[in-house]
């Protein structure tokens, strides 16, 4: 089992940057794929990005490609989401999520793939 805690959210102007962090508690963190999801008011929680257990593979939602970068440090048990050129439509609560991989190149894009979730961190982008 793993516990996740996000940090780094806040208020930023359009075009600005934020770096979100996700701290994990499990000693087997390196065997987990980790994703970021977001949920805006009145909307479904949606996929943002995912990184494989070893950091070799990553994927992004089309809406954030070229602006967001995911990375991880398995020694520190951290996953990061660097967000640049932020837009008002990026405003949401951002969640870190994880699951134990089922095969070598396993990194899921679906909410149902994930077993563990953090409480979320709020990002507000003003226009």
Mean pLDDT, rounded, of the chain: 96
Using the predicted structure, report yes or no on whether residue 96 has a pLDDT greater than 90. yes
pLDDT tens column, 61-79? 999 999 999 999 999 999 9
Alpha-carbon distance values, 117 to 6, 67, 72, 105 (Å):
10, 24, 16, 21
Question: In angstroms, how far is the first alpha carbon of the chain from the final one?
Answer: 40
């Amino acid at each position: 089992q793993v516990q996740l805690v996000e940090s780094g959210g806040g208020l930023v102007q359009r075009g600005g940057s934020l770096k979100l962090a996700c701290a994990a508690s499990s000693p087997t963190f390196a065997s987990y794929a980790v994703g970021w999801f977001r949920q805006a008011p009145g909307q479904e929680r949606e996929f943002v990005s995912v990184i494989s257990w070893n950091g070799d593979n990553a994927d992004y939602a089309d809406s954030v490609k070229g602006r967001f970068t995911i990375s991880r440090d398995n020694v520190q048990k951290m996953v990061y989401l660097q967000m640049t050129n932020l837009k008002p439509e990026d405003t949401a609560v951002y969640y870190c999520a994880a699951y134990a991989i089922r095969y070598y190149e396993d990194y899921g894009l679906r909410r149902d793939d994930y077993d563990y979730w953090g409480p979320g961190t709020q990002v507000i982008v003003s226009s």
